Amino acid sequence: YQGYGRGIDLETLRRLQSDATGGLTPDLTLLLDLPVEAGLARIPRNAKDRLDRETIAFHQRVHAGYREMAAREPHRWRQVDASRDPDEVASRILELALEALRTAGVRPAERRSA
């Protein structure tokens, strides 16, 4: 949000992030995509923090920025339609995580019945 929402130079932020993480990046990044207005409507009034209280324009810039990052690195980012039923969203997240593990050669443990 610092770059897209506040207009801080993106290349500077990328360098800082790379330095802070030693160049590590996640194998999988999930973008829970939801229209800005719908996302803000989900926040309880008494739970809003300083970012939640930013303008709609700020949130739209951040939303567009995250979608741009996802489009720039499609091998790593997966978008999930967060406007769907919460159980469907959770199922999709699990499916994407398991797919990423399989791609990385990791076999999830078998589930045991109780």
In a domain, 110, yes or no: no
Per residue in 10-21, pLDDT (tens digit) is 888 889 888 899
Two tokens, residue 24: 């590590």
pTM: 0.78
CATH (domain of 26): 3.40.50.300
Domain that holds residue 40: 2-103
**pLDDT tens by residue, 49-97:** 777 787 899 999 999 999 999 999 999 999 999 999 999 999 999 999 9
Rg value, the chain, Cα: 17
Pick from 103, 31, 92: nearest CA to 67: 31
What's the count of helices (H) and strands (E) in the chain, helices before strands? 5, 2
- Number of structural domains (the chain) is 1
